[in-house]
A and B are shown apart, each in its own frame.
Chain A
């Protein structure tokens, strides 16, 4: 086991690769099977292969295999976490030893072939000043880096992933049949113009073919195929140590979400939702790509550690000496006596308004570069003293400050798309079209978590302006989504908007310096949101795919386990004391309060989340009351409802336990004592402490106030839900009537979809139509009659292109005459050319 003794981080790599192995196995088997499918009744080798690999039935054993892989990955992830926490170096210094916990290899190498390290080059240059310095070799790397955040995220994703895999075994048991009837397609009609009975040829149209029913093959194996690829991508994203690897996994996650949201692709709504999720994410990814490219061209690396090390700042440091490697510099570009640019400091009073960002070498002659830069003990050295960094190959460089801001914004836009923040949040509710376990996976552990995770990862590369944008984006998102969630009637959509809202909390927390608070909320939220989604899945499964809350009610007696576990989830998300959500949410509210007190003009960043706490309490309890208590509103649904099988309830109980206690510490009643929070705190970047020391401090001072305010707000919201839905003191219908327009406004989700449709989709389609009309060929008339089109074209693009072509044709035809085929003519021309060239040479040379 030497492989893992020196590099325990490889445990995580192994755990990452396990789902990929499962995916590859399933894909190979599936592909082989469909390859031999035409021969299945012919006999011989092809036929025996086909039946050996499972025949007509969906791959059930494959699903068990990938579930086992996932469980093994979870075990490895937990083992890795334990090893990480017991690492002697980490116990001693609090920081992981990079040699043990990270590795990198070159993936694509660009630039110099000389692979010797920069120190070597610097040495050679010192011994021989004339030696040309090779361009720095830059490489796209593949690597992993385990720190506290990574280890915790990894354990979270694998554990929740395993629970979801197991749950899916039960939830999708319908799909394991040879043929599956999809009623939704019958109701919606299909865009695909499929035959109504798409059962495979072997079985032929079944007995029910007389009914108007869409039938297809079960997709049990395919579901797990996508699911395992999804998990692999997410795990790879988590352990990645550079932005490029993150980007690749990022796109893979997007692709898998496309597959999974569009799992029932015969349903037009599912197909549209998948497209929407994919396209909206592309918008975010465009921004992300811009950020990556700026980082690549200005910083020369995409490795998180190295990027961090190349950005320094004395100005953000107002609290004592800088720590190496976690800050950036805004300095004015100066010039020395020889008119060569030097990166001197501005006068002290102008220190804050620098236009440039200096990228500094990694090592300094004077490691305490705060003094090296000239701000020594309060006096500013203006005698032309310049800091002298040790000259390495990575010498000084500057980057305009606005570009630095754009880089941060670009990365954040990617996170906005992935984590469904305003204004790119519209895809997330539509993503409910996928099977419910997928919703749980996307909403809890993987896709949307990726954005928040990346913001946490890149925290020290965000300029203050970017952080403010992040905070406001989060605040707006959490508020808007919560208001929409108040009125939704689809059980999954309520949860979807609640996810948006909670993600807004995380973004807000990260933007105002609550690094620990935001990421702790990410971890706890993952557990209780997975629980909530799986519970809703259990409800939907038990009610035979009924998702409308208005048709439920009184289900508690029918499915007690689901109801109770869901109650745990609801209590957790509302922020009930001692449930995991309480710890993280209180931290966020407390940080926001501190920030609001420190910067009174940004008080909205505290007020909005506080309001939303009340709303969260209301809509979550509304959901629970509507589903589980009161009178059954649809007797048909109620009569047929049943508790889910154990394979689904066990993950629920499992997750409920986690939702209750994952953030516990000692003493339990102290929010700040959360063990998980302490672990995260150990991994906090130094930039947090430097940039937000005052506001964090204020937050700590007032944490009782913040906690009480949040609790009061939550009680208010829950109480309103109780009086409206549990003890019908207030009639929801009459209330709805009294605020009709507002209700409508929220029902239509603030008209985001409508606005996008008018502002983006329609113009795009109109433009496409117009372009098509311009270029229409006469043959494209479906009726076969000749039509008078292309009026426009011959004069514009086509006309110009044809004219160019014709000119060359004419030139060619005229030159053709010169090609006589006569040898002697050619020789004459050759000689003539020689004469002319010689004459010119003689004339010019004198």
Chain B
């Protein structure tokens, strides 16, 4: 392995993605889940940028998409936090297992 290729980045991204999914699936703290989402988004961004680097046809697009994702992630975090705070105000907890009022 003399030259850095596309695959190492993809594998790193896959690892981050898996970590994010596990994080969402296991954390009971709502903010923990939010962090898992951030991990997943970062994995996706890493993929975009890596492809942009190694595929000249998407050189600019990859980066621009990643930028947009970053901004949207920030927005999403703001909304999610607002929801969490609201939930906390009403239930005095951030345990997502307690938020099951819509069960069938």
B25 touches A828 (CB 8 A): yes
A827 touches B25 (CB 8 A): yes
Q: Does B21 contact A (CB under 8 A)?
A: yes
| A767-819 interface (Cβ within 8 A of B) | 815-819
Of the 9-residue stretches B53-61, B64-72, B96-104, which lies at the interface with chain A?
B96-104
B24 touches A824 (CB 8 A): yes
Contact of A831 among B25, B28, B102, B103 (CB under 8 A): B25
Q: How far is the CB of A792 from chain B (nearest CB, A)?
A: 38
B104 touches A816 (CB 8 A): yes
Chain A's interface size range is 10 to 19
B97 touches A822 (CB 8 A): yes
CA distance A743 to B100 in the complex (A): 89
B24 touches A821 (CB 8 A): no
Q: Does B26 contact A (CB under 8 A)?
A: yes
B25 touches A821 (CB 8 A): no
Given A831-B21, A831-B25, also A824-B96 (CB < 8 A): yes
Closest to A812 in B: B104
CA distance A817 to B99 in the complex (A): 16
CA distance A820 to B27 in the complex (A): 17
Q: Does B33 contact A (CB under 8 A)?
A: yes
A821 touches B33 (CB 8 A): no
CA distance A828 to B27 in the complex (A): 12
Q: How far is the CB of A244 from chain B (nearest CB, A)?
A: 54
Contact of A817 among B25, B28, B104 (CB under 8 A): B104
Q: Does A823 contact B (CB under 8 A)?
A: yes
| B18-50 interface (Cβ within 8 A of A) | 21, 24-28, 33
B33 touches A823 (CB 8 A): yes
Contact of A822 among B21, B26, B100 (CB under 8 A): B100
A821 touches B99 (CB 8 A): yes
Q: Within 8 Å CB of A819, what residues of B?
A: 102-104
Q: Within 8 Å CB of B33, what residues of A?
A: 823-824, 827
CA distance A842 to B33 in the complex (A): 29
B101 touches A823 (CB 8 A): no
| B73-104 interface (Cβ within 8 A of A) | 96-97, 99-104
Which of A815, A817, A818, A824 lies at the interface centre, i.e. has the most chain B CB atoms within 10 A of its CB? A824
Closest to A823 in B: B96
A821 touches B103 (CB 8 A): yes
Q: Mark A754-776, 1 if CB is under 8 A from B, else 0.
A: 00000000000000000000000
Q: Within 8 Å CB of B25, what residues of A?
A: 824, 827-828, 831
A821 touches B21 (CB 8 A): no
B24 touches A818 (CB 8 A): no
CA distance A525 to B100 in the complex (A): 86
Residues of A within 8 A of B (CB): 815-824, 827-828, 831
**Contacts A821-B104, A822-B103 known; 4 new A-B pairs at CB < 8 A:** A819-B104, A821-B102, A824-B25, A831-B25
18 contacts between A and B (CB under 8 A): A815-B104, A817-B104, A818-B104, A819-B103, A819-B104, A820-B100, A820-B103, A820-B104, A821-B101, A821-B102, A822-B97, A822-B100, A822-B103, A824-B25, A824-B27, A824-B28, A824-B97, A827-B21
